[in-house]
A and B are shown apart, each in its own frame.
Chain A
Amino acid sequence: MRIGTAKESYAADESLFDTAVQWRWLLVFFALLLIFPFIATPYWLFMACLVAINVASATGLNILTGYTGLVSLGQAAFMGVGAYTVAWLEINLGTPVLVNLVAGGLMAGAAGMLVGVPSLRVKGLYLAIATIAASVIFHFIFANWTSVTGGVSGLTMPPGTIFGFTLDEPRDLYWLIVPITVLMVIGAANLFRTRIGRAFIAIRDRDISAEVLGIRLLRFKLLSFALSSFYAGVAGGLWAYFFRVVTPESFPLLMSIFFLAAIIVGGMGSILGAILGAAFMTMVPEVLKMVVNWLSPWLPDAVALLSPVRVMVFGALIVGFLLFEPQGLAEMWRRLRRQFHLWPFKT
């Protein structure tokens, strides 16, 4: 049972993590993040980097779709804008990595703001279709503006260097990707403790009364689009450094749906939700693949038999979440915590 958490100041009540136990767990988590690269195999490092990139992008989409209530299927395209910007800068100007990433984010943010303009008039499915249209346009630009994007064959970039270190392996990139993702997630969590985050939620919950409270709808909807796309752009930039080949096919519409599914499975309108959702969506197919591999000694043709099953299990898991826990993984976690806090009493 949770005891001894009396708060004596508003500052204590407003903090993100309000108990000593939470802080200790957080320290343990960061310590694990620190030692992870020294103990993990290259495969797990690769997966960790990929999860971190997806967490960054899903957090961005969560700001827009989960918190502001504007459904977007353009997240992959905005990642593409970031990735192309970073690749172009790295190849042609060789500017520092962090500058490139910020530039990628800003470029994607600007693109997002442009795509967000219809959001003042259209909502829900209509907005989703509008963002699909936008991502088709971006795909067209990626494929046909050959002088900048390299056309269909895309851009192949050299590894980035930061303070003299060459970032050409997941082991090195981990130190770039994970800290940036952590910073972006903390930024998003902070945002929702201030007037801007509250305004986003107000627009989602009831835009008419938001207006009466003095929230300018267009400005905040565009801000949400810009911020969400900035997150996507930086994530796309990290993606570019990670894979070092950026082609028009790197950021398909399916990827946008992947992120939307990630925040739904994780929990819309929850910072933890985007983290859990992105990790879940990235890792579960891999875990299922491993299960299939473990089974292969007993089942000689397991790989051939179970590969389609794997896809089906993945799909069934998502459907299961929608049915049994529409609030997502974050809600499951919250419930678990509540039970733990109240134990031995029951809710």
Chain B
Amino acid sequence: MASELSHGKPALSVERITLTFGGLRALNEVSFDVVEGSVTSVIGPNGAGKTSLFNAVSGFYKPSGGSVRLFGETIDRVPAPERARLGLARTFQNIALFRGMTVLDNIKLGRHAHMSTGLLDALWYFGRARREELELRAEIERRIIDFLEIDHIRNAAVAALPYGLQKRVELARALAMRPRVLMLDEPVAGMNREETEDMARFILDVKEEWGVTILMVEHDMGMVMDISDHVVVLNFGEVIADGSPRAVAANPRVIEAYLGAGDVGDLRRRLQAGKGPTTGGKAA
């Protein structure tokens, strides 16, 4: 699957992004493409710069070098709120829902950038504002609430929901943004097996039924390897591997980054190369 996709048009291109905090280089000339219609995962050990990368792409951090292209257009000078209008949506690692609002209002907020109700219309409500609100409500009910199976909690306060459902509501809100590229920051972190499987199913459905390109940061290797078309591995702010899940999993630099260069990593590599552990010991 990955091989056919690699010829596709990039939905999002990260080109030589460098991000520094004082003397610390969080990202160093990071480049990769997210092919349209793919699920691309960014993995890497803690502190590798995955969330920094997300923040740079979504416009919170200003990279000191490089650029980000969305469907071929450079968006470096586009402020964060405008990027939403262009079809770039994201979720957060620590759920960033609006806790004082209901599930429904949270989801409605996703559409904010595409709505046009002005102040006077809003104060009067009847007429244009009402029409727009009701259209939005009907669409959210039909396309999102049904799809993500959250109809039983639509009027619940977000703060009272269990973690897994909150993650799902956050996905719902991102879908309401009419995204073309959806960035998910650890969508299944802290979930149990069943919730993870549900979420993986939703992500694949979003890709296939909605035609949304997905860029995801995730630590759950099982899920990453199962649903990704393309995996990018970051370590210490640099891309150390980039390719299909299978190729990345076999890459010695990736194994080294995850397992360390010490005994365990060495052992594993030798085992994979078909040599026994004892011969490895002798060679060392």
- A residues contacting B by CB (< 8 A) are 10-11, 13-14, 187-188, 190-191, 193-199, 201-202, 204-206, 208-217, 223, 227, 269
Task: Tell me whether B112 is interfacial, beta carbon within 8 Å.
Answer: yes
Known: A14-B134, A198-B101, A212-B58. 20 other contacts (CB 8 A): A11-B130, A11-B134, A13-B137, A14-B137, A191-B123, A193-B125, A195-B108, A195-B111, A195-B112, A195-B115, A196-B119, A197-B122, A198-B105, A198-B108, A201-B100, A202-B112, A206-B97, A208-B96, A211-B60, A214-B83
Alpha-carbon separation in the docked complex, A187 to B105 (Å):
19
Asked if A213 and B119 sit within 8 Å, CB to CB, the answer is no
B104-159: which have CB < 8 Å to A?
A: 105, 108-115, 117, 119, 121-125, 129-130, 132-134, 137-138, 141
Is B248's CB within 8 Å of the partner chain A? no
In the complex with contacts A10-B138, A187-B123, A214-B98 CB distance below 8 A? no
Chain B: number of interface residues, binned into ranges = 35 or more
Please tell me if the beta carbons of A212 and B109 are within 8 angstroms of each other in the complex.
no
7 A-B residue pairings within 8 Å (CB atoms): A10-B138, A187-B123, A190-B123, A205-B98, A206-B97, A212-B90, A213-B109
Known interface pairs A212-B80, A213-B84, A269-B100; A194-B110 also in contact (CB < 8 Å): no
When the two chains form their complex, are residues B125 and A190 in contact, meaning their CB atoms are under 8 A apart? yes
- Residue in contact with A214 in the complex, picked from B81, B123, B124, B130, CB distance below 8 Å: B81
With a cutoff of 8 Å between Cβ atoms, the chain B residues found around residue A190 in the complex are 122-125, 129
Contact yes or no, A196 B90, CB < 8 A? no
Report whether A196 and B122 are in contact in the complex, using a CB–CB cutoff of 8 Å: yes
The CA of A184 and the CA of B138, in the complex, are separated in Å by 29
Q: Could you say which residues of chain A place their CB within 8 Å of the CB of B111?
A: 195
Q: Which of A11, A195, A208, A210 has the most CB of B within 10 A?
A: A195
Q: What CA separation (Å) do A329 and B124 show in the bound complex? A: 27
CA distance A346 to B147 in the complex (A): 34
Listed from nearest, the 9 A-B pairs whose CB atoms lie closest are A214-B113, A214-B84, A190-B125, A209-B96, A205-B98, A187-B123, A194-B122, A10-B137, A195-B115
Q: How far is the CA of A201 from the CA of B158 in the complex (A)?
A: 13
From A188, A190, A197, A269, name the one whose CB has the most chain B CB atoms within 10 angstroms: A190
CA distance A215 to B60 in the complex (A): 14
Contact with A along B71-99 (1 / 0, CB 8 A): 00000000111111100011010001111
A-B contact count (CB 8 A): 111
CA distance A152 to B89 in the complex (A): 56
Closest Cβ–Cβ distance, residue B137 to chain A (whole Å): 4
Q: Which residues of B contact A208 (CB under 8 A)?
A: 60, 96
Q: Give chain A nearest CB distance to B198 CB in angstroms.
A: 23
A194 to B131, CA, bound (A): 11
| A198 CA / B98 CA spacing, docked (Å) | 10
In the complex, the answer to whether B119 meets A223 with C-beta atoms within 8 Å is yes
With contacts A195-B115, A214-B81 taken as known, whether A201 is within 8 angstroms of B98 at the C-beta atoms is: yes
**Known interface pairs A205-B98, A214-B81; A195-B177 also in contact (CB < 8 Å):** no
Asked if B119 and A10 make an inter-chain contact with CB atoms under 8 angstroms apart, the answer reads no
Rounded to whole angstroms, the CA-CA distance of A208 and B80 in the bound complex is: 10
Q: List, in ascending order, chain B residues with CB within 8 A of A212's CB.
A: 58, 80-81, 84, 89-90, 96
Q: Which chain B residue shows the least CB distance to A268?
A: B100
